[in-house]
Amino acid sequence: MSKRVLLLLAMLMIFVIVVPSVIPKPAPSPELSSRPKRTVVVLLADSLTAHAIDEGIRLGRLPTLSRLIRHGQYKKDMVSVFPTMSVVIDQSLMTGTYPDQHRIPALQWYDPQEGRVINYGDTFAHVRQQGFLRTARWFLDYNRRHLNPRTQTIHEALLRKGYLSGSINMTAYRGPFLHPIPFTGQTTRGPAWFALGPYVSRTRPDGDETTTLSPTLYRNKDGLRLLSRWLRDPNHPDLMMVYLPDTDKAAHRLGPNRWTPVAKLDRELQKLIASLGSWDSVLRQHVFVLMGDSGVVAGKQDAKYLITLNKLASPYRLLPYGVSKRERNADVAIASNERMAVVHPLRAGVSLDRLIEKYRGIPGIDWVIIQKGRDILVWQGSRQLRFRSAGQWRDPYGQTWHLEGDPHVLDLQLDPQRHLVQFGRYPDALRLVKGGIGAQRGPCVMLTSLPGYEFEWGTSSLPNRGSHGGASRQELLVPIVVSDNSLPLPRMLRVVDLKQWLIRLVEVQHHPVSPR
């Protein structure tokens, strides 16, 4: 995810350079506040895994995390969302909802209104094909237009309760405050304190706003350096959210579960704490929540494990990146997300049944998923499961389902006497699949790959050493570390449960300010 964000930030900077405007006014000196502060600091480390944490602790290489865990809470099996791509997971964290509710389908997805594959920025080649300015607009629209406007974010909910919040480098950031983007004439809505790479904007309780540019990049140390500066401001918000991308870079390059990138993160966290004071004083003033967003599956370093989009499209004509269906006579559009892909028919002559039959026989494909009305159908080879919400089967999260067909497709264990369904390799599988296919726009076939395989245009010779996007246990289970015991984590915890838990955590740490 981080390399894509770097590209998008570079494009936003191009926006800044080519469109003239006025120089923003400098920030005023902060006024002292008499309000007691115990801030909740959420650190989202992309592709952080519990295995890497455990191995680093076993080797004695993670003293900072070890100390945080001893003083607080550590869970290794928080359930993420599907597809396991950061842009989807982050909005589920922000809104407490699944993708079919917040409406962000994937990093790449087909938009029938634009007639194009929306790509928030996965590779430089694709960004160049679809256009730098168009990609920059889509990156802004990710929060402004693509995110369901009726779904409340944590920043919006906190202000209603009288609390202020801040965001550093989070791609999901929609909030109640309007922030101008320097030199572009564009605006975006975020929390009171808002930073995205070199762009920093703050709205103070008295309504005064400052917008500046700083010479920072989109790296762990840049985000943590700004966090340190903000936390030393006596007027800082009650909740701070910070995105840390470096663990994701390492996971794609080196493969899953390496402890060495986590050791680097541990040293960076130690520097952050040291910049704020002594250990005891820092933990008295702040509650730190360190979490991953998705796990990583090892890629097999052989070109035969790449499932190319041309192979998925054949014998139909594939819509290229950056091209609208109104500009090119194409039969199908395909959006690929590493270990997940979605195929959209663009004309009546393309048969979904024919596509399903074909994909069930392609080596490397795991699930073939479609939605028909309220029903969701999942194939795994020759086996089929059909399900929908509201039925006689109850899962461990209290959700009920109607099931027909082979439960082994999603590795479900059924207790007919009590009408209970338990999950095996795919935690929360039914709701995750419903959320993933339900977020897509229009008729489509959703595909996942077997471990080691990836969906790809054919521009790479080998799969990544680590990838995600699918719904395997390795991708779905992520760690969370809390430096405090004042509010226990839910026993069965999902990313979609964190929004309300974080709001409650803020409430038990602070006395609210009056909302403006």
pLDDT tens for 346-378 read 999 999 999 999 999 999 999 999 999 999 999
Of 52, 128, 53, nearest to 459 (Cα)? 128
- Rounded CA-CA distance 183/213 in Å is 11
- Rounded CA-CA distance 64/370 in Å is 46
Query: Does the pLDDT of residue 13 top 60, yes or no?
Result: no
Cβ–Cβ < 8 Å for 403, 394: no
Rg, the chain, Cα only: 23
Write phi, then psi, for 70 (nearest 5 degrees).
-60, -35
Between the alpha carbon of residue 17 and those of residues 7, 75, 152, 182, 510, the distances in Å are 15, 45, 33, 10, 42
**Mean pLDDT confidence for 100-107:** 98
Query: Does the pLDDT of residue 311 top 80, yes or no?
Result: yes
The per-residue pLDDT for 516 is 38
Structure confidence at residue 463 as a pLDDT band (50, 70, 90): confident
DSSP 242: E
Residue located via tokens 């955590």: 505
- Rounded CA-CA distance 177/155 in Å is 9
Alpha helices in 239-359 (DSSP H): 246-254, 260-276, 279-285, 309-313, 352-359
pTM score: 0.91
The per-residue pLDDT for 128 is 85
Pairing of strands 193-196, 165-168: parallel
**Mean pLDDT confidence for 61-86:** 97
Structure confidence at residue 328 as a pLDDT band (50, 70, 90): confident
DSSP 451: T
Q: Which tokens sit at 307? A: 């499932």
- Rounded CA-CA distance 326/333 in Å is 12
The per-residue pLDDT for 21 is 32
The residues near 407 (Cβ < 8 Å, ≥ 6 apart) are 385, 413, 414, 421
Q: Please tell me the least confidently modeled range out of 32-36, 264-268, 286-290, 399-403.
A: 32-36
| Torsion sign (Cα): 406, 363, 331, 145 | positive
Structure confidence at residue 345 as a pLDDT band (50, 70, 90): very high
Domains, the chain, with CATH or none? 2-19+37-104+147-296+476-509 (3.40.720.10), 303-463 (no CATH)
Q: Identify how many contiguous H helices and E strands the chain contains and give both numbers.
A: 17, 26
- Rounded CA-CA distance 200/214 in Å is 7
- Rounded CA-CA distance 442/275 in Å is 51
Query: Does the pLDDT of residue 185 top 90, yes or no?
Result: no
- The H or E element that residue 318 is part of is none
Query: Does the pLDDT of residue 161 top 50, yes or no?
Result: yes
Structure confidence at residue 27 as a pLDDT band (50, 70, 90): very low
Q: Burial, 152: exposed, middle or buried (Cβ in 10 Å; 0-12, 13-18, 19+)?
A: middle
Residue type, 329: N
Structure confidence at residue 258 as a pLDDT band (50, 70, 90): confident
- Rounded CA-CA distance 346/323 in Å is 13
Residue type, 245: P
Mean residue pLDDT across the chain: 89
Q: Give percent of the chain with pLDDT exceeding 70.
A: 91
Structure confidence at residue 36 as a pLDDT band (50, 70, 90): low
The per-residue pLDDT for 511 is 54
Checking phi first, is residue 428 left (phi over 0); if not, alpha (psi -120 to 50) or beta? left
Residue located via tokens 């609390």: 163
Structure confidence at residue 177 as a pLDDT band (50, 70, 90): very high
- Rounded CA-CA distance 146/123 in Å is 21
Of 191, 79, 183, nearest to 136 (Cα)? 183
83 prior amide bond cis, ω within 30 = yes
Q: Please tell me the least confidently modeled range out of 84-93, 197-206, 227-236, 482-491.
A: 197-206
Residue located via tokens 């650190």: 43
**Mean pLDDT confidence for 405-411:** 98
**Mean pLDDT confidence for 126-154:** 92
